[in-house]
Amino acid sequence: MGNKTPTFDRSDFELADNSERVQIDHNYISQSYWKDAFIRFKSNKGAVVGLIMILIISLFAIVGPMMSDHTYKSVNIRHKSLAPRIEGFENSFIFNGVANRINSYEQKGLDDVYYIFGTDTLGRDLWTRTWMGTRISLYIATIAVAIDMLIGMIYGLVSGYYGHSIDNAMQRFIEILSGIPNLVIVTLLIVILKPGLVTITIALMITGWIGMSRVARAQMLKLKEQEFVLASKTLGAGNFAIIFKDILPNIFGQIIIMSMFSIPTAIFTEAFLAFIGLGIPQPMASLGSLISEGFKSMTIYPYMIAAPVVVLALLMLSFNLLADGLRDALDPKMKEM
- Does the footprint of another protein cover residue 126 (CB under 8 A)? no
CB of residue 324 vs another protein: minimum separation in angstroms?
Answer: 8
CB of residue 294 vs another protein: minimum separation in angstroms?
Answer: 9
- Does the footprint of another protein cover residue 320 (CB under 8 A)? yes
- Does the footprint of another protein cover residue 317 (CB under 8 A)? yes
HEC secondary structure over 221-242:
HHHCCCHHHHHHHHCCCCHHHH
Of 175, 226, 228, 334, which lies in the binding site for another protein, with binding defined by CB under 8 A? 175
User: Segment near another protein (CB under 8 A), from 9-17, 60-68, 73-81, 269-277?
Assistant: 269-277
Which of 284, 303, 283, 304 lies closest to 293 in space, CA to CA?
304
Backbone angles phi, psi at 102, to 5 degrees: -120, 130
- Does the footprint of another protein cover residue 181 (CB under 8 A)? yes
x/- letters, 34..73, toward another protein (CB under 8 A): ------------x---------------------------
Q: Where are the beta strands (DSSP E) in the chain?
A: 98-99, 102-103
Of 1, 66, 77, 192, which lies in the binding site for another protein, with binding defined by CB under 8 A? 192
- Does the footprint of another protein cover residue 238 (CB under 8 A)? no
Dihedral sign, CA of 118, 121, 122, 126?
Answer: negative
Backbone angles phi, psi at 103, to 5 degrees: -95, 95
Under DSSP, is residue 98 helix (H, G, I), strand (E, B) or coil? strand
What's the farthest any 2 CA atoms get from each other in the chain?
128
- Does the footprint of another protein cover residue 275 (CB under 8 A)? yes
Residues 6+ apart with CB under 8 A from 274: 280, 286, 287, 288, 289, 291, 292
Under DSSP, is residue 225 helix (H, G, I), strand (E, B) or coil? coil
Under DSSP, is residue 96 helix (H, G, I), strand (E, B) or coil? strand
User: Segment near another protein (CB under 8 A), from 21-29, 108-116, 120-128, 186-194?
Assistant: 186-194
Q: Given the rule CB under 8 A, which residues bind another protein?
A: 46, 168, 171-172, 175-176, 179-184, 187-188, 190-192, 264, 268, 271-272, 275-278, 291, 295, 298-299, 302, 305, 309, 312-313, 316-317, 319-321, 324, 335-336
